[in-house]
Amino acid sequence: MKCTTILMLASVALTTPIIAHAGQPEPIAGSALIGVTYAELREVTTGWSAKRQVLGQPVFNGKNEKIGSVDDVIIAPDKSVSYGIIGAGGFLGMGKHDVAIPVSQMKLVKGRLVLAGATKDVLMAMPVFEYAH
């Protein structure tokens, strides 16, 4: 009877890690888990989609005036999305003035990107954003 109890406890101990990690790959020694967990995936799906909601979209100020459009999104070295590159001024790409705006300053309001308090003149007075080579 003691042997049966020990075997049952050993069986539970051996299967517990499998149950705890069901649906997720077991990590290999010396490697990191690739991807996101189910909990993280829910958070990801509620975020902004650069392709669908940000890139190429017009940017408005609090007075509903179009002040530019999003040309790019910069991912900082710490892997956070930190800046939207807003193209202001210019016509058909000529004389366009790209500026870096912290993403935290932009809000999504009724499906539109809003940079409250900004004007085209304010953006044109900012330093030009240029890509590092």
CA atoms within 13 A on the CB side of 34: 3
Tokens read off for 133: 């080579």
Residues 42-84 pLDDT 10s:
777 777 677 777 888 999 999 999 999 999 998 888 877 789 9
Residue 111: inside a domain: yes
Residue 32: pLDDT band with limits 50, 70, 90 = low
The predicted pLDDT at position 127 comes to: 94
Asked if the structure places residue 133 within a domain, the reply is: no
- For 115-130, the pLDDT digits (tens) are 999 999 999 999 999 8
Note whether residue 75 is domain-resident: yes
Would you say residue 101 lies in a domain? yes
Distances (CA, A) of 24 to 29, 30, 36, 37, 76: 15, 17, 10, 8, 29
Task: Record the pTM.
Answer: 0.63
- My answer on whether 35 and 59 are in the same domain is no
CA proximity to 70, closest of 52, 93, 82, 86: 86
Helix (H, G, I), strand (E, B) or coil at 7: helix
pLDDT of residue 95: 72
Domain coverage including residue 90: 50-125
User: What's the order of all strands across the beta sheet hosting 58-60?
Assistant: 97-102, 81-88, 66-75, 58-60, 112-114, 107-109
Domain tally, the chain = 2
Kindly state whether residues 40 and 93 are assigned to the same domain. no
Q: Are residues 61 and 117 in the same domain?
A: yes
